[in-house]
A and B are shown apart, each in its own frame.
Chain A
Amino acid sequence: MTVSETHDVDVLRDHPGSYVRNERVLWRRAAGSVLLLRGGAHDVVLLDDSACLLWRLLDRPRAFDQIVDLLSEAYGTGGQQVAADVAAALARLTSLDVVTHTPEDVSYREDTG
């Protein structure tokens, strides 16, 4: 697992495994936002700009550090703050059951295909 030097190792230890969208979620991009509806639920969840990018990345399983690296690169900011934001966003998305967390690292990596 590649770990960016800028990440807090404790944060990574708290987030082993990988994250991916729950395939049962219905969703649409709508003018910069993403709207999500879980199967059996009645409330639509609205993701803001930054969460939209996270949602886009989760079209395939990704490890926490990989997500942080990609978002740090996209925003051009330090990994520490991004790691904290990603941790919070993933906690919210998994609690809403729109993102699934698996303990094993089955993440997709562009460099290995």
Chain B
Amino acid sequence: MSAARRYGAAVAGFGLPGCVSEWPTAPLQGEEWRELLRLLRRQRLSGLAVDAAAGGALCLTEAQHDQLLELHQRAVCGALILEAGLLTVTDELAAAGVESRVLKGAAVAQLDYRDPAQRLFGDVDLLVRGEQFDEAVAALTAAGHARRFPQPRPGFDRRFSKGASFYAKGGFEIDLHRTFVMGPFGLLVDLDDVWSTSSSFTLGGRTLTALSPEHRFLHACYHSALGDVRPRLVPMRDVVEMLLRGRLDMALVRDRMPSWQAQPVVARAVALAWATLNVADIIAISAWAAGYSFSAQEKRFLGVYLDPGGSYAAKELAALSALPGFRDKISFLRALALPRRDYLEGRHAGRLHRLRRAAAAARRGALVE
């Protein structure tokens, strides 16, 4: 592991109880420092790095300190601009009668971190109900935001998809979610549970609604375990931050896991976060995660998220077995096999090309450790 990656993980765990990361005893030099700075920018860790430097853990030269402060101020400006965008977008949805919940960074920064400047983010994530998804898309489109990819067939969004992404007219990205992730694990989340509770926070004098603490924790696990082939450090921090500093009702978390079939997701997220951020403290869920035994189907499901060559279509094909009814399976397959032409444009040479890629990725069935 490179010095940048090692110290980046230490930064991600800075200030958490029980983190026993190794820190450099002298400022990194030359390319090693530049690599760490790039990592801090890419992984949005400048806030924690500033705190680690102030706390004496991250040893920097004066020039490096100035570079870090400049990076952090830029990142904070970005977060503020996104928050302004979030307020606009939630207004646009509310005006169309669409209820929303703020997801991920914008909510977690305010609700789960002692200092919101520690939790930076790069886009606006909102959850809307499946039955209101088409109205939400119409409202955002009418407001001038551009959807990145059309849905495969009408009705697919509100029944099966993870959601839709938009280029906002303010120059940022909006992720409109119906569920937490695409693929099988996203379809298994009980969205009635998710919508049954909420938390709220104030931003710019307005009250916004987010998920309940336990659902924010579960979402952080989905984001951390399944969001990227190479897991990102900030979602791991979220997982540990919520477990060690939050006030979670673990009985509720334990109740949700089997009904959403989320055990492999939570086990992977917690074990990964504990190992990567060097958390020495053992708590009940970390001990459970460390000893979790993945079934063959869980490995197959996880595999489609962790395969570096995996495609959107491969995740969706794997999702087929997570769909409950025969009619749903047929509708789902039809949408994937015979998407509208505008859906294929710029993504695949044609329907056959798309199917071949999906089948090849599904056959690879990469297994997780």
Contacts and interface: CB of A to CB of B under 8 A. Distances in A.
A35 interface: yes
B80 A26 contact: yes
A29 B76 CA distance: 9
Interface of A: 23-31, 33, 35-37, 39-40, 42, 44, 46
A33 B72 CA distance: 11
B73 A31 contact: yes
Task: Classify the secondary structure of A's interface with B.
Answer: strand
Contacts of A44: 77, 80-81
B205 A37 contact: no
A26 B77 contact: no
Given A30-B47, A46-B73, 6 more contacts: A23-B205, A26-B204, A28-B79, A30-B50, A30-B76, A42-B81
A25 B76 contact: no
Contact of A37 (B50, B72, B81, B116): B81
Nearest to B87: A39
A28 B116 contact: yes
A31 B69 contact: yes
A28 B117 contact: yes
17 contacts: A23-B204, A26-B80, A26-B83, A26-B84, A26-B203, A30-B47, A30-B50, A31-B72, A31-B73, A33-B73, A35-B73, A35-B76, A35-B80, A37-B77, A37-B80, A37-B84, A46-B73
A35 B204 contact: no
B88 to A, nearest CB: 9
Nearest to B51: A31
A100 to B, nearest CB: 11
B54 interface: yes
B159 to A, nearest CB: 36
Interface string B47-79: 100100010000000000000010011001101
Q: How large is the interface on B (under 10, 10 to 19, 20 to 34, 35 or more residues)?
A: 20 to 34
B281 interface: no
B228 interface: no
A35 B72 CA distance: 11
B22 interface: no
B203 A30 contact: no
Nearest to A41: B84
Name the prevailing secondary structure of the B interface residues. Answer: helix
A51 to B, nearest CB: 15
Contact of A39 (B73, B79, B84, B116): B84
A75 B285 CA distance: 48
Contacts, number: 49
Given A35-B76, A37-B80, A37-B84, A30 B205 contact: no
B204 A39 contact: yes
A29 B117 contact: yes
A30 B204 CA distance: 18
B116 to A, nearest CB: 6
Contacts of A46: 73
Ranked nearest first, the 4 interchain pairs of A and B with the lowest CB-CB distance are: A23-B205, A37-B80, A30-B76, A31-B50
Contacts of A35: 73, 76-77, 80
B115 interface: yes
A109 to B, nearest CB: 23
A28 B205 contact: no
A46 B74 CA distance: 11
A42 B77 CA distance: 10
B73 A24 contact: no
A58 to B, nearest CB: 14
B76 to A, nearest CB: 4
Contacts of A31: 50, 54, 69, 72-73
A71 to B, nearest CB: 23
Contacts of B87: 39
A30 B84 contact: no
Interface string B203-226: 111000000000000000000000
A31 B203 CA distance: 21
Contacts of B81: 37, 42, 44
A84 to B, nearest CB: 28
B77 to A, nearest CB: 5
Interface string B26-59: 0000000000000000000001001000100000
B62 to A, nearest CB: 14
